[in-house]
Structure 1
Amino acid sequence: MNDTAQPPEKCPLLIVIVNYRTADLTINCLHSLVGEVKSLPGTQVVVVDNPSGDDSVARIQEAIATEGWQNWVSLVAAERNGGFAYGNNLAVRSALQSPNPPDYYWLLNPDTLVRPGSLKALVDFITRHPNVGIVGSSFEEADGKPWPFTFRFPTILSELDSGLQLGIVTKLLQKWTLVREMDNQPAPVDWLPGASMMIRREVFESVGLMDEAYFLYYEETDFCLQARRAGWSCWYVPQSRIMHIAGQSTGVTVRNAEPKRLPQYWFDSRRRYFMKNHGWLYSAVADATWLAGYLLWRCRRVIQRKPDTDPPHLLEDFLRNTVFVKPNMPG
């Protein structure tokens, strides 16, 4: 097992996979990359284990040895579980400090399978467009159903839509809603899921690594915003297709399942994002707007006898984590 994530002398692309108790999925993801790394000679993959506390390290090591992947896959055991940004930064930082750092860095979730041609589609696009700093893939669910969505930066209006959950308001606010449905053409977007995000080296040199004060959630949103402010654009490239089983490490965003209570780090990340990027006053208005919308939704749900599909204890948890109760930025 390698102690660092040093790529070889000529490595055009570094792929980083952060594992936390998902050894089987990580190994399956590596299988899906076998053909992809051949399309760009010199590509390296670093698997970072954010101490899983299970047999993940041993199992992934065994798979690397058994499959003969040693020449392009290395495994790094992190000292602590510092979250998504921390795990990715561990590999990216080491590569950036190498004598000949890679041009591109592909952050890839372990709960993904890379469809043929997806790596080349991202590299070709970002290489042809020097002003593009970040590119990302289209997603599909485990059954092959398309999940063609990207996201807009959170704002007060998107918080209103999120809390209110009213179709007519969503239509009126469609230019500001958080979720953006995409078609089959490449397009500039605000931010992309970190499950498949390729980043140009110069972006890290411009804005630094991802903010490790986020344990999980909002770190890729924040990073894309910092890149935008530094003059880099972010693009959706649907020709790169990724199967993604959401929420396998946390259980929070599992699709087609009973919603789970949102963890404390979700609220910490949300509060950090708004306070870091917009200040206390804006964050307070965003909190108040979401609360007003959500209370109206709760009243409408009772009157119209709609099912309760919200995460358990959402209102009380949100109230405990507003900037009115916790005025300081987490982290």
Structure 2
Amino acid sequence: MNLISVDCVLLNYNSGSLTVNLAEHLAKSPSVNSVIIVDNKSSNNSLKELNKVKNSKIVIIQNKDNLGFAAGINVGIRRALKKQTGQILIVNPDININNSDLSKLYLSQAQIISPVLKFKKKDTWLYDLGGKVNWILGRTYHKETSVMPSVSSHNNSIDFVSGACMMVSKNVFRKIGLFDERYFMYFEDVDFCLRAKREEFNIDVNLNVIVQHNLEIHKISKNLSKIKNSLISNYKFIKKWLPAILKPTAYLYIFFLVMKYLYLLLTTSYSTHSYFPERA
């Protein structure tokens, strides 16, 4: 009898083949009870690809509208909470994860646990060790390093982990609720982790688990909607979390970022990866 059992939730938007490959891979694991795929009203043939999947572990839910990340993933989480398991793995289709990774995450002590996310940026492999909040500007940043620290020497004080891959105890959802659906995209994972920390749940990155995150880097001209969603969510985060005395400075910085992005859009074709969070 397998003592490790987890429900996985994947949010799909126009990533049909990636989502199918990951779902079928996860479903092969004896540690996985179910794989719940939520299609967020994809505009390509993703749903057709998903409906070809024939596996009793895989459940497909179709949203009538693109609800964004928070509301979209919540649909799957609600389904997972009805199942008799203790953990939910939230994972993006562009993550490579195996059964041994699942077991190590499951056995971690923290109630919200993430693997180290390995990704390539400007031809250099980097490791994401979680994130911190800049409470003066209301911005977030990821603790990235090109050299992995040793487990024994690392003191990983973080405010949040990426929603691209996090394993969450169902007790966390039952205590604090689901992701805040006022965030369409970005900052929903930060908000969720801060609410969990406020209730004294532990958040950590397991340095013994490294998974590859296959980020795509696009030109700024192709990412207007992502930039817009990032800034709107940042504004909502500031409004919700920052004390009144710090809000004017944070709002002014948001205005500066808007002007910066407009300038870059009009004068360059830089990748947006350096300027706003590609990762959830």
Residues 1:266 and 2:246 are matched in the alignment: no
Specify which of 68, 88, 101 is matched with residue 83 of structure 1.
68
Evaluate the alpha carbon distance shift between residue 12 and residue 222 of structure 1 in structure 2; reply closer, same or farther with a 3 A threshold: same
Q: Secondary structure at the match of 1:191?
A: coil
- Alignment match, 1:169: none
Q: Secondary structure at the match of 1:44?
A: strand
Q: Is 1:48–1:88's contact at 8 Å kept on the other side of the alignment?
A: yes
Specify which of 223, 239, 256 is matched with residue 192 of structure 2.
223
Q: CA RMSD in A?
A: 3.2
Residues 1:73 and 2:36 are matched in the alignment: no
Residues 1:122 and 2:105 are matched in the alignment: yes
Q: Secondary structure at the match of 1:213?
A: coil
Evaluate the alpha carbon distance shift between residue 28 and residue 141 of structure 1 in structure 2; reply closer, same or farther with a 3 A threshold: farther
Question: What CA distance in whole angstroms lies between the structure 1 residues aligned with 2:270 and 2:124?
Answer: 25
Specify which of 218, 222, 239 is matched with residue 208 of structure 2.
239
- CA drift of 1:24 comes to 1.2
Specify which of 122, 133, 143 is matched with residue 180 of structure 1.
143
- CA drift of 1:201 comes to 0.9
Residues 1:284 and 2:274 are matched in the alignment: no
Q: Is 2:26–2:35's contact at 8 Å kept on the other side of the alignment?
A: no
Q: Which runs of 5+ in 2 are unaligned?
A: 261-267, 276-280
Evaluate the alpha carbon distance shift between residue 184 and residue 45 of structure 1 in structure 2; reply closer, same or farther with a 3 A threshold: farther
Residues 49-58 or 220-229, more deviating: 49-58
1:235-292 CA distances to partner (integer Å, 9 max, x unpaired)? 001322322122xxxxxxx33x433445322221101111111255422221335667
1:17 partner letter: L
Q: Is 1:138–1:149's contact at 8 Å kept on the other side of the alignment?
A: yes
Residues 1:134 and 2:119 are matched in the alignment: no
Q: Is 1:190–1:224's contact at 8 Å kept on the other side of the alignment?
A: yes
Q: Secondary structure at the match of 1:209?
A: coil
Percent identity between matched residues is 23
Question: What CA distance in whole angstroms lies between the structure 2 residues aligned with 1:289 and 1:17?
Answer: 33
Evaluate the alpha carbon distance shift between residue 147 and residue 215 of structure 1 in structure 2; reply closer, same or farther with a 3 A threshold: same
Specify which of 52, 74, 99 is matched with residue 42 of structure 2.
52
2:211 partner letter: I
Larger strand proportion of the pair: 2
Question: What CA distance in whole angstroms lies between the structure 2 residues aligned with 1:198 and 1:144?
Answer: 27
- Alignment match, 2:33: 43
Q: Secondary structure at the match of 1:136?
A: strand
Q: Is 2:11–2:72's contact at 8 Å kept on the other side of the alignment?
A: yes
1:151 partner letter: G
Q: Is 1:15–1:108's contact at 8 Å kept on the other side of the alignment?
A: yes
Residues 1:194 and 2:163 are matched in the alignment: yes
- CA drift of 1:194 comes to 0.6
Question: What CA distance in whole angstroms lies between the structure 1 residues aligned with 2:137 and 2:20?
Answer: 41
- CA drift of 1:101 comes to 3.9
Q: Is 1:20–1:52's contact at 8 Å kept on the other side of the alignment?
A: yes
- CA drift of 1:190 comes to 1.2
1:77 partner letter: Q
- Alignment match, 1:26: 19
2:67 partner letter: G
Q: Secondary structure at the match of 2:183?
A: coil
Residues 1:107 and 2:90 are matched in the alignment: yes
- Alignment match, 1:275: 239
Q: Secondary structure at the match of 1:263?
A: helix
* Residue-pair matches, total: 255
- Alignment match, 1:317: none
Q: Which runs of 5+ in 1 are unaligned?
A: 1-9, 160-176, 247-253, 297-306, 315-331
Specify which of 191, 195, 203 is matched with residue 172 of structure 2.
203
- Alignment match, 1:152: 132
- CA drift of 1:85 comes to 1.1
Evaluate the alpha carbon distance shift between residue 90 and residue 184 of structure 1 in structure 2; reply closer, same or farther with a 3 A threshold: farther
Q: Is 1:32–1:113's contact at 8 Å kept on the other side of the alignment?
A: no
Question: What CA distance in whole angstroms lies between the structure 1 residues aligned with 2:194 and 2:170?
Answer: 16
Q: Secondary structure at the match of 2:241?
A: helix
1:173-204 CA distances to partner (integer Å, 9 max, x unpaired)? xxxx7231362427452111111011111111
- CA drift of 1:215 comes to 0.6
